[in-house]
Every structure is written in structure tokens, then in C-alpha cells.
Chains A and B, each alone.
Chain A
Amino acid sequence: MTVVSSPPAPAPVAGPEHRPPGVGVGERAVNLLNGTFLLVWALITTLPLLWAIVSAFKSNSEFLAEPFGLPGEPHVENFSRAWTVANIGQYFVNSVVVVAISVPLTMLLGAMAAYVLARYEFPGNRIVYYGFVGGMIFPVFLALVPLFFVVRNLSALPGVGQFLGLNSHVSLALVYVAFSLPFTVFFLTAFFRTQPTSIAEAAIVDGCSHFGLFFRVMLPMAKPGLISIGLFNVLGHWNQYVLPVVLMNEPEKKVLAQGLAALAISQGYRGDWTALFAGLVIALLPVLVVYVLFQRQVQAGLTAGVLK
């Protein structure tokens, strides 16, 4: 839109007795209606989750006979059945292991790449940057077939091969790192560009090396950005589904999201729904607790993903 610059019109002066309209009966009715809409959506959001949590404490016969009732007594043993018999415990540990490797590595490597791309001029800088950022638009599905073989062939590497390959949590974590780098680099490059040059200069004058400047000055200064993108990656890696489905097919190697989905199919046949729901609650509670505790940062981290 072409903006024609013209002197601003004098602001209309409201009369002293002019009170905002809109406290009449009609307005109050609309206010009430608005409140109702909001409440209805809140119920639509929470009731399925509440139903899952309540169902996790029921017996299987209660689950079928009284879908809306409360459990007669809390059947806590559902949880131990889910944890051991249904393998949710194993899946949970697997997920923790993968995320514990993948997220710190994503942050470190992403910050290193973003830092040099943001603050050092060298031939090929733009090519590397757009190479990373371009990865954001590519659907992961296109890569699945070759990725499967790339990962499978890693096990043939001498020495480290035994820790890699399919059904290896290290491999899966490395794949997570690779697929998280585009957004992480994109986000952190923007962040490192905002760091004042004067501090870098001062550090160099004080005899700081390039490495020291990064690890002792720049990285600590980038903490707010690292926290946002870190939470974004924790949730993304914890919830990832298609990559483990392709790369992890041994039953005891599955991660939580994948194992839960497999359980939903097998428990349905066995008729042990409440163990499944207990598993569901085991999977969703940690994430909800982390979210409620850090909701400001989580919302900032996730919405930043769209706004950038």
C-alpha cells in the first residue's frame, strides 16, 4: 500500500460528558455470550484429557460400563501394569535417553553454526546459511527412504558402527539433531546478530580467543534465546513420531510416542484399556507439568517459531 504522507489530522476531541457506550443490557448479554464461547472451547480442550486421566484409574469393566462415572476406587495398579507389562517404562527411558543426547547436541551445534554465520564474514557464508534455512520447507517424508539406508549403513562403519545403525538411540538422536538444525540455526542466527559488537571487541582486547569469546561471552549472553529454542526442541524431539517409526523397529528400542501408538493397537485387541490409558497419562503428564511450570517460556518459544 502506498502511504501518502500528509499532516496528521487533528485528533477529535471528545466531549467531557461523552461516556463509552456499551454497558447496557444488550452489551452485557453479548459479553455473557462471549464468555460462554470461551468456556465451551476450554471444555472441548480439557474434557478429552480429563476423561483419559479418570479412565486411567478405572477397572476395565468400569471403563466399559460407566464411561462417565468416577472410578469406585482408584486402580493404581493400572499404572504398574502399563509401566512393566505394556513396556511403557522401557519406552519412557528410551525417550529420555534420546532427548538427553539430541537436545544438548542440537543446541551446541546449532549455536556454533549460527554464531559463525551471524558474526563472521567468509566466502560461502550465505550459501551455508541458506542451505540450513532451506531445510525448513522440505517435508521430512521425502527424505525417509534414503535416510533409512543412510542410517542402516552407519552400522558398517569401523569402530563406532556398533553404536549406530538402525535401532540405535544414538543414531536416532543424531537424526533429530540434523532435522532440528534448520530452525535452530535460523532462530539463533537472528539472535546472535543482536549481540552488541562492542562487547566482542572488549573481550578481544582483553586477550580472549575466538573460542573463548564464544563459550565465555557470547553463549552466556544468548541464554534467553537458547532457552526458547531449547524448549521448542525438547517438545519437538519428545513428541517426534515418524522418524522413530521408520528407524526403530525392535520392540524394546521404541520411544514413548511410538510405543504408545503400538500399544493402542495391541491393547485394543487384548481389552486392557485402562492400562493403555494409564500409559497415556504417563506420557502426557510430564509434558503438561513442564508446560504449566514454564508456560510463558514454552509459549514464547513455540510461537517464535511462526513469527520468525
Chain B
Amino acid sequence: MSTDVSVRNSVPRRPTSKAGPALHHGKYTFVVSFLLVPVGIYGLFVVSPYLQAIYISLTDWTGLTGGQTFVGLANYARLLDDEQFLIALRNNGILVVVVPAVTVLLGLFLASMLNVGRRGRSGVEGVRGSAVYRVVYFFPMVLSVAIIGVLFKYVFAPTQAGGILNGLLRAVGLDGWAQPWLGDPDFAFWIVLLVMIWSFVGFYVVLFSAAMQSIPKEIYEAALLDGAGRFMTFRQVTLPLVWDTVQVGWVYLAIQAMDAFALVHIMLGIGGGPSRSGDVLGLALYRSAFNSYRFGYASAIGVVLLLLTLVVAAVFMRVARRERVELS
């Protein structure tokens, strides 16, 4: 990990204020004055909404002025009969499994090509132009998800609306493959998923590259001398040594993949696309709250999203905690 803060292990982890009596003078006034505003803003806009949301999910609050009556778990019971919610839940489930898996695989593949993919006279080395690739691959990460959504809405648009993919298919004689991609319930959600992967891969290439560059070159030289092939080298050398980064990246990706709100909202519309086939929980929540003003119900969806996030984080932490390799 080549971040600036990685040296923090060398200092005591506990906060210290052992700087003599002078520092104790007025310490509490200082601490309070520094914490007051950040904690106040955080409490007002983050903590209190989260706590309220959990309570609201137990009420029947509807309408901008309606009262809140406590109804227990009735909203949650209703969720189970809501077909639309179940579609959204299924889609979130798919996103959480497929997006991290494909992104990590592609990221590892490209990062290993980039850093150790070339075998020449001087042993294992990165490809030429790897610095340029690293810059280019990272482009989607700095773009707003709104820009990406709009861009791909038009990539996959029908030809009469300027859709470039259908135009490309026609140009190479594959007219039959042209589809109203985002208008077809069989494709719409999967295209959003692909776009999501497109936007994430580059970031993980850069992340894994950083981890791979900290692997000592001698290890690769040794593997080469022992006659290990590329795949063997990757399995036995590269992967174990970047495994820590991979597992952190995996959890982070799973949490990122939960939030497909912007892409689905922009590419498929507020309804979640044709037959609402591309719906996701964030969008279902938004519709319940700000289109139908069913605030209790919307908050129940939010709590489900939170539980799903916690479960995913816990599961991945457990699964990914395999044996670690110490480099020393």
C-alpha cells in the first residue's frame, strides 16, 4: 500500500496528549470548540435522518402532511407481496454478485498484463506504454455517473435516435443483431450492469497495479528460473501477494454496486425501464417516497438496503479472510 498514511503503524495508535502541563491548559474548551460544528452538522444531516428513517419505516406515514401512526412491521410484510420490490431486490442481488466478480477478474487480468505481462530478455516486466494505459483506464472513474449514464443511453439508443451500437452493427452487416437495447426487458438491466462494470474496471486496474508494483522483482525472476509459466506465476506468485487488496476491493465494489440509482434512473427512466425490469432498490425507494409520498414504505425499503449492505460486507469479510502471505 503506497499511500502516505501507511507509516501510521509506527506511532502509538492511542491519541496522545502527553506534551506537558501547558497542553492541558484549556484542553477541553479546545476539544469542544473543534468538535462542536462538525458533530453538529453530522448529527443534523446524517445521524438524525438515519435514526428517523428506522422509526418512519415502522409507521404508515403517507402524504406530505399526513400523520405518522406506528404500525410495527406492516410495511415490511407488505414488501414481500410487492412484485416490483422483489424485482428490485433480485436485481440488487445480481449486481452485488456479478459486478464485483467480473470487475475483479477483468481488473486482475489487465493489471497483470500491464505490470508483469511481458517476458523479455530482462525477465518479467510491464508492457510498453503502461503509464499511458494507467491514465486512460482511469478516465471513467473521474466522470460523473450522470455523464456516463447519458453517454451510454445514447450508445444503446435506437438508430433513429442516433444509437451508435446499432449503427455499428449495421455497418458491419449484423443488422439482425440490432436491438432496441434499453427498451427490451431482456437486455435493459444487463446493459446497465455492463456499463457499471465499464465504469469500475479502470479503477481496479490502477488499484491492483499499485499492489503488484510493490512485489519484489526477484520473486518473479525466481519463478522464471524455476520454469513457471505465466498462469502458474499468476496463481502462485501474483495473486497471493495482492490478495489483501483484492478482498478490500471486493467489499468496496459490492457496496458500490448496490447503488445503481443514477445509472438506472438516467438510462432506463424513473420507472426502472421496460416492464420495470431494470428496477433497483434505490430507485424503488425514491419512487415510493417522492412520487407516491409513501414515506413509511420507502423507509422500509431503505432499511432492507441497509441490511443487505451489512450482510454483504460481513459475508465478504468472512469469505475473503483466507490465509495471508507474509512478505518477509
Residues of chain A touching chain B, judged by Cβ–Cβ distance below 8 Å, are 1, 3, 12, 14, 18, 20-23, 27, 30-31, 34-35, 37-38, 41-42, 44-46, 48-49, 51-52, 55, 63-64, 67-68, 109-110, 112-113, 115-122, 125, 128, 131-132, 135, 137-148, 150-151, 174-175, 177-179, 181-182, 185, 187, 190-191, 193-194, 196-197, 200-201, 204-205, 209-211, 214, 224-225, 228, 235, 238-239, 241-242, 245-246, 256-258, 260-261, 264-265, 268, 273, 276-277, 280, 283-284, 287-288, 290-292, 295, 298-300, 302-308
Q: Which of B138, B147, B221 has the most CB of A within 10 A?
A: B147
Q: Which of A241, A256, A299 contacts B138 (CB 8 A)?
A: A299
The closest CB in chain B to the CB of A213 belongs to B23
Asked whether any CB of chain A lies closer than 8 Å to the CB of B289, the reply is yes
- Once the chains bind, are A115 and B150 in contact (CB under 8 Å)? no
CB neighbours of A137 from chain B (8 A): 255, 309-310, 313
CB neighbours of B135 from chain A (8 A): 292, 295
- Once the chains bind, are A261 and B266 in contact (CB under 8 Å)? yes
CA distance A260 to B143 in the complex (A): 13
Q: Which of A22, A125, A239 contacts B224 (CB 8 A)?
A: A22
CA distance A151 to B45 in the complex (A): 8
CB neighbours of A132 from chain B (8 A): 42
The closest CB in chain B to the CB of A139 belongs to B305
- Once the chains bind, are B56 and A146 in contact (CB under 8 Å)? yes
Give the distance to chain A from B126, nearest Cβ to Cβ, in Å: 10
Q: Which of A35, A209, A302 contacts B203 (CB 8 A)?
A: A302
- Once the chains bind, are A135 and B46 in contact (CB under 8 Å)? yes
Q: A34-B127, A211-B30, A225-B5 are in contact. Are A146 and B49 (CB under 8 A)?
A: yes
Give 9 CB contacts A-B under 8 Å: A23-B119, A44-B198, A125-B15, A131-B39, A142-B306, A144-B302, A178-B41, A245-B265, A246-B290
- Once the chains bind, are A121 and B15 in contact (CB under 8 Å)? yes
CA distance A31 to B12 in the complex (A): 47
Give the distance to chain A from B167, nearest Cβ to Cβ, in Å: 4
CB neighbours of B181 from chain A (8 A): none
- Give the interface residue-count category, chain B: 35 or more
- Once the chains bind, are B142 and A288 in contact (CB under 8 Å)? yes
Asked whether any CB of chain A lies closer than 8 Å to the CB of B262, the reply is yes
CB neighbours of A225 from chain B (8 A): 4-5
The closest CB in chain A to the CB of B114 belongs to A38
- Once the chains bind, are B118 and A235 in contact (CB under 8 Å)? no
CB neighbours of A55 from chain B (8 A): 162
Q: Mask for B272-294, Cβ within 8 A of A = 1, else 0?
A: 00000000011001100110000
CB neighbours of A138 from chain B (8 A): 46, 50, 306, 309
- Once the chains bind, are A120 and B281 in contact (CB under 8 Å)? no
Instruction: Determine the main DSSP class of A at the interface with B.
Output: helix
The closest CB in chain A to the CB of B4 belongs to A224
- Once the chains bind, are B34 and A307 in contact (CB under 8 Å)? no
- Once the chains bind, are B303 and A142 in contact (CB under 8 Å)? yes
Q: A128-B35, A273-B162 are in contact. Are A306 and B207 (CB under 8 A)?
A: yes
CA distance A139 to B306 in the complex (A): 6
Q: Which of A115, A144, A260 contacts B146 (CB 8 A)?
A: A260
Q: Mask for B190-225, Cβ within 8 A of A = 1, else 0?
A: 000000001001110011001000000000011011
Q: A23-B121, A260-B147, A288-B139 are in contact. Are A139 and B302 (CB under 8 A)?
A: yes
Given contacts A142-B49, A178-B41, 7 further A-B contacts (CB under 8 A): A20-B119, A49-B139, A67-B162, A112-B35, A112-B38, A260-B147, A306-B252
Asked whether any CB of chain A lies closer than 8 Å to the CB of B155, the reply is yes
CA distance A142 to B47 in the complex (A): 11
CB neighbours of A63 from chain B (8 A): 162
CA distance A175 to B43 in the complex (A): 11
